Amino acid sequence: MCVCIPEGAEPVLGAGPTFSDILTQNQAAILAPDMQPELMRVRSIQPRPSDMSRPRKKKENPIHTAVGSWLDSLPPSIVDIIAQHTGCNDYNRTRQQLLDHAPKRWVVYEPMVLLPSGSFTTEPWPALLNSLNSTQKDALWTAILQELSPPSNKPPLTHLAINEGIPLHLSPTPNPSDTTPTHEEEEETQENLLRSPTGLHLLHGDFGPAHPSSQPPSESDFQAALWVSTKQNGIYQTWAPRHTMFSRGNIKEKARLLSFPTTSTTSTTSTTTINNNNKHGNKLAIDLYAGIGYFTFSLAARGLRVLCWELNPWSVEGLRRGAVRNGWVVKVVSPRAPLPNNLHTATTATTASDDTSTTTSTVGMDLRKILTGDEQEEAPQIIVFLEDNKHARQRITTALLSLGTKMEMEVVHISCGFLPSSRAVWRDAWEIAAASCQLHGQGTWLHLHENVAEDDVERRKSEVQGLFSRWASEQASQGEKRCDARVQHVELVKTFAPGVWHCVFDVFVCITKV
């Protein structure tokens, strides 16, 4: 690249040739003589290396920035105590140890920041935190939140917690007057059915009361709790972190359901557009473990109407709030008692004026009326039953038989998303799918979740196939139209533990073609 340098200016010399080197003698000869002196001052200048080619300075981790500033604000006496505790009298070295052992990762669920399990548990952190008063510790948590908060035009992050694993078992609340556990208390320790996040370590902010004022929790309990949210695949999800777990690792399976076919092939086409127009009409999806709407929302986003079951009232409230935020009409059905002989559920409804949800809590309305809607309210796209999913099969099959082919309520998907295994509902899922196929002759996909050892996936696939084949044979022996069931695909969602996969067995149920 050649440029002319004005008279009196210092040229910037590069590694390239001079102008006279570039011009041939013949080219130089044809130039006007009075131009020669000016041209001789021209030099070829190499472009300066761009900023892109220079090694960029690594941006400091914002948590480490906050921790470093906070450490420098502490009284020297505290740091000296920690230095003595670690056997190191070098302040800078002790400070670096604290920075090295501070958390490096975090997840934001507005307005909460969630730090990884084990944060601030490696020495010398425990010794330091134990030597501080509440004001000094709170200054650390506040500094971290301020450093991680978005620009000032967005709401700040206000709550901080450390994530911990969801315990599979819960210990009962001890009775001070009795040191011997009862049989009922021993039963309670067996399984954390509601997947309550009892290990969550709260650091900063008001997360609401640890225990609701009533059982089940009241509307005032819900209002007092902290609710957080995130957006995955274009879909919002909402939950109360003190009372409900959230599994962000299921994002891959949620996306797969969004584009899953409704035919017997597993080829998919990508689509993540939320559909609020119920384009599938009376095609139904069933979610037997709804949670806060993990897979329910992926099915609803496709325009399907979804019937779902969930035991945890906090999860149901999170599902309701999330559905409203996504623009879906949702109804919560909360039967007062199990009703084994019919579909009776609800009538006295309390409807929030600012959303599209309804909560029903008294008996008197059956599932058919909920599905068809009435003149007073729009038929809901999502119906969630706050009850044990053992009632799902009877409620659904009775409604299908009652409606017959008049409304063509066809079940096209049944999600059984529970770990370590959803085996407890597989027979019910089969019965629902078979009933739908008997009426409409179409097919139903079952999505069966289970943890399986990596080396056992194919063997387990064969076992699942054998199980459904046996149920199909039993049905045919009773004189009904035979339904066929085939394990079409096994999706490996994520590793649950070393050598263990979270698997989804996709089983397609349809009438056997003669």
Mapped onto helix, strand or coil, the DSSP state of residue 335 is coil
Three-class secondary structure assignment of 142-156: HHHHHHHCCCCCCCC
Ranges 269-273, 276-280, 313-317: which has the least confidence: 269-273
User: Token pair of 138, please?
Assistant: 């709170």
User: Each residue of 346-379: pLDDT tens digit?
Assistant: 332 333 334 556 555 433 346 777 776 665 677 8
Strands (E), 336-394: 349-351, 357-360, 382-386
Can you give the length of the chain in residues? Answer: 514
**CA 291, CA 246: separation in Å to the nearest integer?**
9
Strands (E), 92-227: 107-109, 112-115, 159-162, 201-204
User: Each residue of 374-413: pLDDT tens digit?
Assistant: 656 778 999 999 999 999 999 998 888 877 655 668 899 9
Q: Which of 296, 312, 116 is nearest to 199 (CA)?
A: 116
User: Each residue of 307-347: pLDDT tens digit?
Assistant: 999 999 999 999 999 999 999 999 999 875 443 333 333 33
**CA 447, CA 429: separation in Å to the nearest integer?**
9
Q: Token pair 């000296």 is at which residue?
A: 80
Cβ atoms 195, 312 nearer than 8 A: yes
End-to-end CA distance of the chain: 79
pTM: 0.77
**Domains of the chain (ranges plus CATH)?**
2-49 (no CATH), 62-162 (no CATH), 249-511 (3.40.50.150)
| 234 CA to centre of own chain | 12
**CA 473, CA 487: separation in Å to the nearest integer?**
16
Cα torsion angle, 4, 10, 16, 22, sign? positive
User: Each residue of 69-111: pLDDT tens digit?
Assistant: 999 999 878 877 777 777 766 778 888 999 999 999 999 999 9
**CA 254, CA 302: separation in Å to the nearest integer?**
12
